[in-house]
């Protein structure tokens, strides 16, 4: 069984799922043979790929994110008591402290402020994501769909107000990092989907999946 991630991982609205389903032009700058007449604003695979490539692929972008991550990771480390020796499991440390720093780096601080259990929801989504790809009906995979919906809801809780209140023409609109959306990559995906008329639930689903896999 082959399933598009937009339907089962993103939980996209039907009309948005159809946009990707019917776009056969590919991800490249040049449309696939036979699809040359596809308008650029209807080339959804290419649009998403272009944004991620231009906002994540260059050394300038990765260096900017690395600086923010180091700053956020240092903040987390400063909160750990240093007055006595203690033992910790490396994997548990990574799942909590490094993941928290990565979340703040990519998405900004508000997502964890609004949902303190965000990391638990993230790792539960990570655990079940592969099972969603197969597109099993909800009645056969209820726990996985619940984990997805809970994680998407946490992202939506921070994303919806941000989309409506952010100054898209202000000085932060081109920043490498700002506290509302976090990374430029996150903000540019939201901007593109908003301008292309994607439904709020689709945008939240896309950001959830891109962050989790990233």
Q: What is the pLDDT along the chain (214 residues), one digit of tens a residue?
A: 455 788 899 999 999 999 999 999 999 999 999 999 999 999 999 999 999 888 887 888 889 999 999 999 999 888 887 788 878 888 888 889 999 999 999 999 999 999 999 999 999 999 999 899 888 888 999 999 999 999 999 999 999 999 999 999 999 999 999 999 999 999 999 999 999 999 999 999 999 999 988 7
Supply the DSSP string of 40-99, one letter for each residue.
GGG-HHHHHHHHHHHHHSSHHHHHHHHHHHHHHHHHHHHTS--SS-----HHHHIIIIIH
Three-state DSSP state, 183: strand
Domain that holds residue 202: 5-213
Helix axes 200-213, 118-133, angle to 10 degrees: 90
Measuring CA to CA, which residue among 47, 17, 24, 49 is closest to residue 135? 17
Q: Which residues does 208 contact at the CB level (< 8 Å), separation at least 6?
A: 10, 125, 151, 152, 155
Please tell me the total count of domains within the chain: 1
d(CA 111, CA 103): 8
HSE-up (13 A, CA, CB side) for residue 109: 8
Point out which residues pair with 183 in neighbouring strands: 177
d(CA 196, CA 34): 24
Contact between 51 and 189 under an 8 Å Cβ cutoff? The reply is: yes
What's the pLDDT at 60? 87
CA dihedral 30, 33, 39, 45 (to 10 degrees): -70
d(CA 118, CA 18): 30
What's the pLDDT at 49? 92
Contact between 133 and 9 under an 8 Å Cβ cutoff? The reply is: yes
What's the pLDDT at 1? 43
Phi, psi of 155 (to 5 degrees): -70, -45
d(CA 191, CA 193): 6
d(CA 128, CA 37): 39
The predicted model scores a pTM of 0.90
């Amino acid at each position: 069984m082959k399933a598009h991630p937009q339907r089962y991982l993103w939980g996209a609205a039907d009309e948005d799922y159809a946009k990707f389903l019917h776009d056969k032009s590919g991800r490249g700058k040049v449309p696939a043979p036979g699809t040359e007449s596809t308008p650029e604003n209807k080339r959804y695979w290419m649009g998403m790929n272009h944004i991620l490539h231009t906002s994540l692929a260059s050394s300038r972008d990765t260096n900017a994110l690395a600086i923010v991550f180091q700053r956020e990771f240092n903040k987390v480390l400063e909160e750990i008591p240093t007055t006595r020796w203690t033992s910790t499991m490396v994997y548990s440390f990574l799942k909590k402290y490094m993941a928290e720093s990565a979340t703040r780096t990519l998405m900004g601080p508000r997502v964890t402020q609004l949902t303190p259990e965000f990391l638990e929801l993230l790792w539960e989504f990570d655990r079940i994501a592969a099972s969603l790809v197969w597109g099993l009906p909800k009645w056969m995979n209820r726990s996985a769909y619940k984990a997805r919906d809970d994680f998407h809801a946490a992202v939506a809780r921070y994303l919806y107000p941000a989309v409506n209140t952010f100054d898209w023409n202000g000085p932060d609109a081109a920043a490498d990092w700002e506290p509302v959306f976090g990374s430029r990559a996150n903000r540019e995906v939201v901007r593109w989907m908003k301008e292309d008329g994607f439904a709020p639930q689709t945008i939240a689903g896309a950001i959830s999946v891109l962050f989790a896999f990233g």
